[in-house]
Structure 1
Amino acid sequence: MMNTRLIKLLFTCLLAAASGFASDGERPNIIVIMADDLGYADIGCYGCEDIPTPHLDKLAADGVRFTSGYVTWHMCGPSRAGFITGRNQSTFGYYKNASLPFDPKQGLPKLETVPSLLQKQGYVTGGVGKWHLGTTNDQHPNAMGFDDWFGFLSGGLMYWPLDHPAYNGKYNPLKRPAKWRDIHHTLPLVHNMEPVKREGYLTHELTDAGIRFLEKNKDKPFFLFMSYNAPHLDLEAPQETIAKFPADQMTKVPGVKPKDRSIYGAMVYELDQGVGRILARVDALGLADNTVVWFLSDNGGMKRTSDNRPLKAAKGSSYEGGLRVPMIVKWPGKIPEGAVLDEMVTSLDIGATALAMAGGDPVRSGLHGQDIRPYLTQQSTAAPHDVLFWHTGKAPGPTGVMREGDFKLIVKEKGKAELYNLKNDLGETTNIAAAHPERVERMRARWMAWNKNNAPDLWQTPPNNVYQYADYEWLKGSQHYQSN
């Protein structure tokens, strides 16, 4: 006769099958760690020699490192809009950064997101750090699929509390009217809808918040998005960390001042230390064997600070230095340790693969990425994508990029185009468009056909900085709050 425990187990399995869920033992926890403006060659496993990143290097040694990992845009906001929705952001008209955080038109429209889809699969979802996708109540992370959010809703934040002596009163209070960048970088930290008192260095505070989420939710399937803003400008780090990176000992990167490289190095180091603390806590909680960890940057590194070599250009560019990023994934017991995979993958694949791991259907859910588990495990060596498309202009006109196998086409305004063979010319030094006119026209026609499905611009930025204040509850107590 069946005992009660066995009957309950069978009932649970039947319920999971009926609902489309995999059992909790089969559904991994998922952590995505996103850096901000990190250079392609600024991690040790990608060739960096002047900034030690032992924890990211260990992540790569324990998992897979991609050499052709791409994001969906070369700037923060649209790239993050693509990642968080799992859809190419040009298909819903997200062509530029949200510059005025209190303009209600700027930011995400009401869409299903990767975290909201994971919620439907029974996951608890947490986010930490940078949002940059709107500040209205409908755009708040809690309304976009996050059960728990600790961070800031703007595109950046000063790394120290605003009353820190280093600022000499510049930001607290702000001069009126404030510049748009100052508004972005001085919004409060929030935990869900409540403001949080700033204490120390921001990268440390974000890591602490991520650890708190892990500890609170260790007994259920979870998705955690660690959205660091390091090493994005401003260049700020603890003095004792900067001292580890003497300017005269930093790698000489064309166009980068040694002093800037020194502080940037300290910021990357602190980011790596934060990653190490997160991974150590996952280990200590006994979760490591059932936790998938992804790491990537939101776009290419800045030309003022970063080393993107051997790629051409930097953040804001349609060349590889703007779109190709370091990308790593660890999936214990499932993927070959220390493997280097060269076929192109995209940040959209993270959401699609995560949803599939959780028991969902990326195709039925309308996601644009691929479930790349066969490629990750090397059960299949076939490329997950035969072609990738980008719209890289600030308006829905014909400007963008297409990569088809080894060939990359850059579609420019007024009919101009550039063609590169990335296998032979990764640095995009020689435009071969004139030698291959038929390939150029065929690829251009294919890109234009894809572009027809892209949407009009979501918003037009007002000519004057009119959005200085807002009346959100989470702004109360800050210099940006004004009752309407």
Structure 2
Amino acid sequence: MIEVQNRKHIVLGVLLSGFLLGHSVFAAEQTRPNIIVIMADDLGYNDVGCYGCKDIPTPHIDSLAKEGVRFTSGYVTGSMCGPSRAGFLTGKHQSKFGFYKNCSAPFDPKQGLPKMETIASLLQKQGYVTGGVGKWHMGTSDDQHPNAMGFDDWFGFLGGGLMYYPLDHPSYRGRFTPPIPRPMKHKYLQHTLPLIHNREPVEWDQYLTRELTDAGIRFLETNQANPFFLFMSYNAPHLDLEAPEETIAKFPADKMTVVPGVKPGARSIYGAMVFEMDEGIGQLLARVKELGLADNTVVWFLSDHGGMERTSDNRPLRGAKGSAYEGGLRVPMIVKWPGKTPQGVVLDDMVTSLDIGATALAMAGGDPAEAGLHGKDIRPYMTQESTEAPHEVLYWHTGSTMNSFGVIREGDYKLIGGGRGNPALYNLKDDLGEKKNVAASHPERVQAMRARWMEWSKDIQPPLWEGGENIQYADYDWLKGNLHYKAKPD
């Protein structure tokens, strides 16, 4: 009898411990936050309300800053789309694996990311469902497809941009109707690839920003029961300048902020594009709340680099997209982690887009250092559990070749010309607009910073590709029905 009772106790103990173990795993699963990264394309530093914009309302982006933390020294790893996104997506400085310039020929398999881990694939290994929406720009071969690079679900386009309406839209007047009458220039070769869901082309009939928002919401609805990572990679406000007429009407050209070098008409349409993106972000955040996910979802917002000279306002920064000045590398960057980040706090110390991946992996239970990531887990800083600056120094390799200028920021000082040429040194604390080169009066600092950059750059890699053939056609199944599809001859 005693033996039977003991057996019962053992069985009950096993069942109870199994229940408790399962419960603890479930609890751990619940505490790991969902992670959403929203990335704008070519957005100016001063084109968001909380950063000082007066002519383009961005209430939903501003709400993230009001309810979270806004960084004034948020940086990306490159001042052009491809290199910056390669750095963000891999969590590594892109010059360390040879990604120096944009993919100019989307069907050239040499151009784009090599087979390597991404933030998405690292989060997959931690049990996250990973989704991406919008712009890829990391290559189009089977090995470079988002589904092969860590994204369980991808809705978007693989080129460097996309027209904001379907190619048969009346406003295009047949310009993109097959067959192609002549070889396409780089931009339109990129911008006329199809919208795809994973490896299938999809039909769409509305303004692109709205289409991408809808896709992001579908991902949330489908994966709400699992910890997830969602990369919302908006096309806006990247050229071409296109927006719904009723939205453009909200931004009369004569009411727009006067920005040197920007035509009022261009600023009007650009304003409408930013507004449409902000509206989409608002819808996405509202759905997160409706699904009961808001308290356990971290939301980041940033631009992939500075805005373009002909559309954007990067003031008070100098320079724009493509520049080694602050206007090319410093971007709006915000994070909201409910119950963790303080509300409405502005942080001035340097952070980088590389930190987003490292922090996300740490939140998911992974080890950024073990994964070889170059960013830092900045949870202590962004929650203000620690006021210590995450970085004492940041490095860049700008331009499209190994011999391009190096850039280093060390404390308040920034040196342009780490590798070659006559260096320019700026004290950003006193001269945020980089107007006064103080290199001549600080020769020892210049020498030390230059030597430090040279040491950092010792292991940069040769370019993944040099030139690029302007290939017009490919035979990918996801291209079927598109003007660039051509089956291989039998």
- Please classify the TM superposition score into its range, dividing by the shorter chain length: over 0.9
* Residue 11 (structure 1) aligns with: 21
Letter in 1 for 2:478: W
1:109 aligns with 2:119: no
Q: Shift of residue 210 of structure 1? A: 0.2
CA distance in 2, matches of 1:15, 1:334: 22
* SS of residue in 1 equivalent to 2:377: coil
- Cα distance, 1:9 vs structure 2: 3.8
Q: Distance in 1 between matches of 2:14 and 2:189?
A: 60
Among all aligned residue pairs of Structure 1 and Structure 2, give the percentage whose two residues are the same amino acid.
Answer: 71
Within the alignment, does 1:345 sit opposite 2:351 as a pair?
Answer: yes
Say yes or no: does 1:75 pair with 2:60. no
User: For 2:465 and 2:129, how far apart are their aligned partners in 1?
Assistant: 32
2:316 counterpart (310, 317, 323)? 310
Unpaired runs of 5+ in structure 2? 1-8
Task: Give the aligned partner of residue 51 of structure 2.
Answer: 46
Aligned equivalent of 1:120? 125
How many aligned residue pairs are there? 477
Residues 201 and 438 from structure 1, CA distance in 2 versus in 1: closer, same or farther, beyond 3 angstroms?
A: same
Question: In the alignment, does 2:73 pair up with 1:60?
Answer: no
Matching of residues 153-232 of structure 1 within 5 Å: 153-173=158-178, 174-232=180-238
Deviation of 1:6 after TM superposition, in Å, equals 4.6
- Say which SS state the counterpart of residue 419 (structure 1) adopts: strand
The 8 Å contact of residues 398 and 448 in structure 1, kept in 2 or not, is answered as: no
2:405–2:420 Cα contact (<8 Å) kept: no
Q: Does 1:409 align with 2:415?
A: yes
Match of 2:395, SS state, is strand
**Following TM superposition, by how much is the alpha carbon of 1:180 offset from its aligned partner in structure 2, in angstroms?**
1.9
Pairing of 1:272-351 with structure 2 (within 5 A): 272-351=278-357
Provide the rounded CA distance (Å) in 1 between the counterparts of 2:30 and 2:15.
Answer: 17
**CA distance in structure 2 between the aligned counterparts of 1:14 and 1:168, rounded to whole angstroms:** 60
44-53 or 389-398, larger mean C-alpha shift: 389-398
Q: Secondary structure at the match of 1:163?
A: coil
Contact 1:64 1:340 (C-alpha < 8 Å) held by counterparts: yes
Q: Once the two structures are superposed, what CA deviation does each residue of 1:66-87 show, in whole Å capped at 9, x if it has no partner?
A: 0000000000000000000000
Counting only pairs closer than 5 Å after superposition, residues 379-390 of structure 1 correspond to structure 2 as 379-390=385-396
2:405 to 376, 399, 410: 399
| TM-score (structure 1 length as normaliser) | 0.96
Q: After superposition, where does 1:246-257 map in structure 2 within 5 Å? A: 246-257=252-263
Distance 1:54 1:365 in 2: 37
Contact 2:46/2:53 (<8 A) preserved: yes
Q: Comparing 292-301 with 392-401, which one deviates more in the overlay? A: 392-401
| Counterpart among 451, 457, 480 of residue 457 in structure 2 | 451
Instruction: State how far apart, in whole Å, the 2-side matches of 1:39 and 1:78 are.
Output: 18
After superposition, the C-alpha distances for 1:204-263 in whole angstroms (9 at most, x for unaligned) are: 000000000000000010000000010000000000000000000000000000000000
Give the CA deviation at 1:179: 1.5
Tell me if structure 2 keeps the 8 A contact 1:398–1:412: no
Q: Identify which range, 371-380 or 390-399, moves more after superposition.
A: 390-399
Shift of 1:337: 0.4
Aligned-pair CA distance for 1:335: 1.0
Which of 29, 34, 56 is equivalent to 1:29? 34
CA contact (8 A) 1:398 1:451 kept: no
Alpha-carbon offset, residue 183 of structure 1: 1.1
- Matched with 2:384 is 378
Q: Distance in 1 between matches of 2:398 and 2:13?
A: 61
TM-score, normalised via structure 2 length: 0.95
Q: Is 2:155 the partner of 1:150?
A: yes
Match of 2:5 in 1: none
2:479 — aligned with what? 475
* Deviation string, structure 1 residues 349-397 (Cα, Å, up to 9, x no partner): 0000000000000000000000000001111101100100000021111
Which structure 1 residue ranges, 5 or more long, are not aligned?
A: 17-21
CA distance in 2 between partners of 1:272 and 1:4 (Å): 52
Residues 25-81 of structure 1 deviation map (CA, whole Å, 9 limit, x = unaligned): 220000000000000010100000000001011111000000000000000000000
CA 1:453–1:412 in structure 2 vs 1: closer, same or farther (change >3 Å)? closer
CA root-mean-square deviation: 1.4
- The letter for the 1-side match of 2:306 is G
> Which whole-Å CA distance do the structure 2 matches of 1:234 and 1:3 have between them?
66
Structure 2 contact 176–483 (Cα < 8 Å) conserved:
no
> Is the CA contact 2:35–2:230 (under 8 Å) kept in the aligned structure 1?
yes
CA distance in 1, matches of 2:378, 2:65: 17
Provide the rounded CA distance (Å) in 2 between the counterparts of 1:77 and 1:398: 16
Kept in 2: contact 1:151–1:191 (CA 8 A): yes
**Who is 1:460 aligned against?**
466
Asked if 1 retains the 8 angstrom alpha-carbon contact of 2:49 and 2:56, the reply is: yes
The verdict on how the C-alpha distance between 1:5 and 1:67 changes in structure 2, with shifts beyond 3 A counting, is farther
Give, in angstroms, the shift of residue 305 of structure 1. 0.5
Separation of aligned partners in 2, 1:183 and 1:285:
39
| Residues in 2 aligned to 1:372 and 1:5: alpha-carbon distance in whole angstroms | 40
CA distance in 2, matches of 1:414, 1:3: 70
